[in-house]
Amino acid sequence: MNGVILRRAQERDLESIARINAEVFLGDRDRPESAREWVECLWRAFPLYQYLVVESGGELAGYAGWQLHGGFHRAEPVIELDQIGIDSKFQGQRLAPQLTHYSMLELADWLKKKNDRIESHITFVVWVYALNFNAISVYAKDFTDGVCGMCTQFGNRAQVMLRVRLPVVMPVREK
């Protein structure tokens, strides 16, 4: 699509990320100042937590927040897509699938440089409400192992976990 830019977030994006967060998620719905505090905390947690964004026509249209689990040097690393939010006026334009795909490649590249103990795969997971069909339709494209888990963390609304294990070829190690 014309005018779509996928990139890592910069500090100047935090205001827009918070605005979108307060628009599309329940946690700080309609509380942009509280969303800003939340986003700021996660931003400061880099590289444990990493934001990537999509711009469309020069506007920040959406973001994805990813979290590494269990340390930086696991032989079987796990990265979770914590949140992906697209501004409502940009929804339905296939921006989320592009951002998800781009993020996975970017994070895999980043992790291969950071972690010299990866054995054979990087595992990506995402938890999503089982009835959030729009999000599931996005995730099913890249989290191709499909549904691998289920929980009810927030009230009684069931969530399912989708997963993909991305094969990684690492250079020969000396030790």
Rounded least distance, CB 92 to ligand COA, Å = 4
User: Binding of ligand COA at residue 134 (CB under 6 A)?
Assistant: yes
Rounded least distance, CB 96 to ligand COA, Å = 3
User: Binding of ligand COA at residue 77 (CB under 6 A)?
Assistant: no
From 39, 95, 104, 160, residue interacting with ligand COA (rule: CB under 6 A): 95
Rounded least distance, CB 3 to ligand COA, Å = 15
| Whole-angstrom distance, CA of residue 61 vs CA of residue 6 | 10
Cis omega (within 30 of 0) on the bond before 47?
yes
The helix (run of H) or strand (run of E) holding residue 75 is: none
From 96, 160, 161, 162, residue interacting with ligand COA (rule: CB under 6 A): 96
Task: Considering the complex, state which of residue 148 and residue 170 has its C-beta at the smaller distance from ligand COA.
Answer: 148
| Whole-angstrom distance, CA of residue 168 vs CA of residue 150 | 27
User: Binding of ligand COA at residue 60 (CB under 6 A)?
Assistant: no
Closest CA to 96 of 137, 51, 48, 128: 137
User: Binding of ligand COA at residue 86 (CB under 6 A)?
Assistant: yes
133-142 helix and 95-114 helix, angle to the nearest 10 degrees = 50
Tokens of 43: 């931003």
Phi-psi region of 114 (alpha: psi -120 to 50; beta: other; left: phi over 0): alpha
Using CB under 6 A as the criterion, what x/- string covers residues 7-26 for binding ligand COA? -----------------x--
Rounded least distance, CB 33 to ligand COA, Å = 20
The C-alpha angle 110, 73, 117, rounded to 5 degrees, equals: 85
Chain positions contacting ligand COA, by CB under 6 A: 24, 83-86, 91-97, 128, 132, 134-135, 137-138
